[in-house]
A and B are shown apart, each in its own frame.
Chain A
Amino acid sequence: MFDFVQMLVSGIASGSAYALMGLAMVIIYKTSKIPNFAQGEMALAPSFFAYMLIDSYHLPFYIACILTFGFSVFLGCMIEIIVLRKAQKSNVLGMIIITIGLEMILLGFVSWKFGAEPKSMPFPISPYDSIPMKDLIKGTDLIIGTLELFTFTIALILMIIIFLFFKFTKFGIAMKATQQNQVIARAMGINTRRIQMMTWAISSFVGCIAGLLVSSITLHPYMMWDPMLKGFSAAVLGGMASLPGSIIGAYIIGILESLFGGYISIEFKSVVSLMIIVVVLCIKPSGLFARHYIKKV
C-alpha cells in the first residue's frame, strides 16, 4: 500500500511539469490551431537567459527571474509578429513546419551561445531536498520532494489563474471568440492580431515557468525534450483544445507511467504514454475532454 501511495505521489509530481508544458501548447492551439513544436525551446531560451543574467551579470535569482518572465513574453510576441503573422496564409502543415524550424533555430542558438556542457542553475530550492510525511499513512515514511511540491503548487496556481482569465476577463473571452471564429470576432471589433500575439506571449510565459523549474535539475540544451514530448502527449490525450483536458491528461500520464514502472515494466515506462494515446485516439479521436466539432460545408 505504501509503495502504491509513494508511486502515486511521484506520478503526480511528474504530471505537474507535464501539465505546464501541455497548458502552454493548448493555449496556442486554442486560438491558432497550430501544434507548436517550438514550445520546448521557447521554454529553453528563457531558462538560459536567466542563467546568463545570474552567471555573467551576477543578478540575484529573483530579479533574474522577473527579467526572464519579461523576456519570455517578448520572445512569444516577436515570434508571432516576425514569423507567424507573415506566414498566415500557410496551411496547418506549413505552420507546423515553421514551428519545427523555429525549434531548430532556438536550439541551435542556445547550443552555440552557451555550449553543450551541462550547467547548474542556482535555483533557491534544491531538487533533491524532501519533506518527510512520516505517519501520514500509518507506519510509513512517505517522501515528497520540496521542488516537486513547489512545482505542483505553481502548476495549481497557474491553472486557476488561466481558468479565471478565460472565464471572467474580457481579454480571455475575446481569445475564446477568436478561437471559435476569427472572422466574426473581427467583425465584433476584436483585434484578433493582438489576441494572437498575446496568446503566444502567455504561452511563452507559461512555458518559461516550466523551463525554469526543469532547469533547476540540470541546465543543458536538450533538457526540454522529454517534458515537451510528455506535455504534447498530455495535450493530445486530454484534447488539444481543452485546457482542463491537457492538465488531466498530464496527471494521467504521470501517474500511469509511475505505476507502470513500479508494477509492470520499468523498461517500457517511457513508451506507456504513447501507447495510451494511441488507444485513446482510436476510441475518441478528439481526445478525452475536447468536444468534437464537425464542420458542415
Chain B
Amino acid sequence: MNKFKLFLLIIVFLFGLINIAGAEEGVTDTEIHIGQWSPQTGPAAPWGAVARGTGVFFQLINEEGGIEGRKIVYHMFDDSYNPAKTKAGVKQLQESVGIFAWAAGIGSATGLAVKEYLMSKNIPWVGPCSGSTQWTNPPQKYLFSIYPLYATEAKALCKYAVETLAKKKIGIIYQNDEYGKNGLIGATEELKAHGLELTISIPLDVETSDIKPHVLQARKSEAEAILLWVSPFHAVRIVGTGKMMKFSTQWMTSSTCSDFPLMYSLSGGLWEGVIAATFSEFALSDVPDSPLMLKYKEAFKKFASKDERWSVFFWAGFGMVEPMIEAIKKCGKDLTRENFVKQMEGIKDFQGVAGKNITFKPFDEKDPSSRQGLNSVFLVQCIKDGGTKKLTDWMEFK
C-alpha cells in the first residue's frame, strides 16, 4: 500500500469517527427510534391498548411526512406486566437497536424496574402510564410525567364525596401494591383535611379471585362511599358482589377503571352510577369530538387492526406522547437528547387530547412539579349503556 492510499484510509477513518461522535443514539437523518413496553398478554392486557394507540399515532405522523424528514421507528414489546421482562426487554432494545427516548410504558412496578437504568444512561422517558409518585419524587432530569398522580385522583374523589355528596363514612379497597397504596395515601390525606378518617381500608392481593371476604368487610363497615383502587377485573367483581350481598354504597374509582363501555359490558350494567376520576376531556357522551380527536379517530380507522376497539385506553396512547412529539418537532434538525430535554422543559399550557394545560419547568431537584406535567383531573359518572356524564370541572391538586 503506497503512502497516498494509507493517507486516504486514515482520512476516511477519522471522518467516520467524527460522524459517530456527532450522532445521537437512536437518531439518523431519516429515522428516530422510540421504544415502549406494555402488557399485550397477561392479566393487565386490557391496558396494552395504550401502546397500540401510540403505534397508530406514530403511523399518522409518519404518513404526514414524519418530523424534519425523519420517520419514527416504533419498538413496542410485550412485557406481560412482569418487571423482570420489562427490564430485560428495555436493556436488549437499548443496547442492540439504540433507542433515542422511551414513550409511556404501562405500570408502576414495571416502570420502576427500568427507571434507574434509563436515568443512569441519561435516556429521556416521557409519560409513564401510571400515577405513581415515584416518577417525580425526587424529580429526575430525563423523566417527564404526565399522568396525574393516583393520590390526586383519590383526593378529587374524596373531596367530591364529602363536599358534594355529603358522605361522612368513606372506605377504600386497594390493590396491595404501588398503585393501590398511592390511592390510599391520597384518600387518607384528603379526608384528614376535612377532619375525617377512612372508615375502612381493605387491601386486596392482585392474584386473588375470591373477593367476597373483602365485600363482607366493606358491608360491615357501613361505608357510604367506597373507593376502588384495583384492576378492572376486580372492580367489576367487587361491584357485582356488592349487589349480590345487598351492599348499597357509592362506588368510586380511578382513571384505570374509567373505560365505561367495557366496564358496563363486563358488569352486565352494574357499572351504571359508578364515579371515576379521569383526565381525558373527550370521554364524554354529551360533548362533540374536537377536530384533533376526529383526526385521531380517522387514523384509528385507517391504521388500527380490525379487532381493535376505540377506547379511553387506546386514545390515552396518543395523549401520553403528544408532548413528546411536540418537543421533537421543536428540536428541528438538532435532535439531541439535551436539546430534547430543553424543549420538553419549555412546554407550557400544552393542550392535546389528554389533560389540561400540561406544563413542565426547568429541572429543579427540589421541585417535583418541574417534572409533573398534569395535576388536574375531573370526575365522571357512568350512565346507561356505558355512557359518560361529566360531574365536575377540572380539579387541581398540587
- A residues contacting B by CB (< 8 A) are 3, 6-7, 10, 13-14, 111, 115-118, 120, 126-130, 132, 141, 143, 145, 217-218, 220-222, 225-227, 254, 257-258, 261-262, 266-267, 269-270
A118-B232, A226-B207, A266-B214 are contacts. A143–B40 as well, Cβ < 8 Å? no
Interface contacts beyond A14-B212, A128-B240, A270-B205: sample of 9 additional A-B pairs, CB < 8 Å, sorted by A: A10-B210, A116-B45, A116-B46, A217-B237, A226-B208, A226-B210, A258-B210, A261-B214, A267-B205
Q: How far is the CB of B260 from chain A (nearest CB, A)?
A: 14
In the complex, 29 of the A-B residue pairs with CB atoms within 8 angstroms, ordered by the A residue number, are A3-B220, A10-B210, A10-B212, A10-B213, A10-B216, A14-B210, A111-B45, A117-B49, A117-B262, A117-B309, A118-B46, A118-B266, A126-B268, A128-B243, A141-B246, A143-B246, A220-B43, A225-B43, A225-B207, A226-B209, A226-B210, A254-B210, A257-B213, A262-B213, A262-B217, A266-B203, A267-B203, A269-B210, A270-B205
Question: Nearest residue in A to B243 (C-beta to C-beta)?
Answer: A128
* B112 contacts the other chain (CB 8 A): no
Q: Which of A116, A127, A129, A257 contacts B210 (CB 8 A)?
A: A257
A225 to B40, CA, bound (A): 17
Chain A interface SS verdict (over half): mixed
B213 adjacent to A258 (CB under 8 Å): yes
Instruction: Give the chain B neighbours of A217 by CB distance below 8 A.
Output: 237, 240
Query: Among the listed B41, B209, B246, B307, which residue makes an inter-chain contact with A221, where contact means beta carbons less than 8 Å apart?
Result: B41
Residues of B within 8 A of A143 (CB): 244-246
The answer, yes or no, to whether B61 is at the interface (CB within 8 Å) is: no
Task: Give complex CA distance A26, B309 in Å.
Answer: 41
One digit per residue, 1 when the CB lies within 8 angstroms of any chain A CB and 0 when it does not, for chain B 37-58 equals 0011111011011000000000
Chain A residues closer than 8 Å to B358, beta-carbon distance:
none
Q: Which of B250-271 contact A (CB under 8 A)?
A: 262, 265-268, 270
How many A-B contacts at CB < 8 Å in the complex? Answer: 102
Minimum-distance CB pairs A-B, first 6 = A116-B45, A261-B213, A128-B240, A226-B209, A10-B212, A130-B244
Q: Is the CB of B216 within 8 A of A3?
A: yes
B246: chain A residues at CB < 8 Å are 130, 132, 141, 143
* B202 CB, min distance to chain A CBs, angstroms: 6
Q: With contacts A143-B246, A220-B233, A266-B217 known, is A116 near B240, CB below 8 A?
A: no
Are B202 and A266 touching (Cβ within 8 A)? yes
Chain A neighbourhood of B214, CB < 8 A:
261, 266
Instruction: Give Cα A230 to B31, complex, Å.
Output: 50
Instruction: Report B367-391 residues with CB < 8 Å from chain A CB.
Output: none
Q: How many angstroms between the C-alpha atoms of A130 and B241 in the bound complex? A: 9
* Chain B residues whose C-beta falls within 8 Å of the C-beta of A221 in the assembled complex: 41, 45
Most buried by B among A115, A128, A143, A262: A128
Bound complex: CA A69 to CA B186 (Å): 49
Asked if B240 contacts A127 (CB within 8 A), the reply is yes
Residues of A within 8 A of B217 (CB): 262, 266
Q: Please, how many angstroms separate the alpha-carbon atoms of A129 and B269 in the complex?
A: 13
Which residues of chain A are near B40, meaning CB under 8 Å? 116
Binary flags per residue of B183-216, CB closer than 8 Å to A gives 1, else 0: 0000000000000000000111101111011101
Distance of A3 Cα from B237 Cα, bound (Å)? 21
Contact in complex: B42, A218 (CB < 8 Å): no
**In the complex, what residues of B have CB within 8 A of residue A111's CB?**
41, 45
Give the chain A neighbours of B236 by CB distance below 8 A. 218
- Cα separation A143 to B307 with both chains bound (whole Å): 40
Q: Which residue of A lies closest to B270 (CB)?
A: A128
- Asked if B249 is at the interface of the complex by the 8 Å CB criterion, the answer is no
> In the complex, what distance in Å separates the CA atom of A10 from the CA atom of B39?
33
Minimum CB–CB distance from B348 to chain A (whole Å) comes to 37
Chain B neighbourhood of A269, CB < 8 A: 205, 208, 210, 213
A257–B268 Cα gap in the complex (Å)?
A: 28
- In the complex, what distance in Å separates the CA atom of A254 from the CA atom of B240? 20
- Cα(A175)–Cα(B222), bound, Å: 54
Instruction: Tell me the complex Cα distance, A261–B214, Å.
Output: 8
- Write out the residue numbers on chain A whose beta carbons fall within 8 Å of the beta carbon of B204: 266
A154 to chain B, nearest CB (A): 18
Q: A170 to B207, alpha carbons, bound, how many Å?
A: 42
Known A226-B207, A258-B212; judge A120-B265 contact (CB<8 A): yes
Taking a contact as CB atoms under 8 Å apart, the answer to whether B307 and A115 are in contact is yes
| B216 contacts A262, C-beta separation under 8 Å | yes
**CB interface residues, B 1-57, toward A, < 8 Å:** 39-43, 45-46, 48-49
B244 & A129 in contact (Cβ 8 Å cutoff): yes
A270 CB to closest chain B CB (Å) equals 5
- CB-based nearest A residue for B268: A126
The answer to whether B176 has its CB under 8 Å from any CB of chain A is yes
Contact partners of B266 in chain A: CB under 8 A: 118, 120, 218
CA distance A254 to B217 in the complex (A): 17
Taking a contact as CB atoms closer than 8 A, the residue among A3, A10, A267 that contacts B176 in the complex is A267
Q: Tell me the complex Cα distance, A117–B42, Å.
A: 10
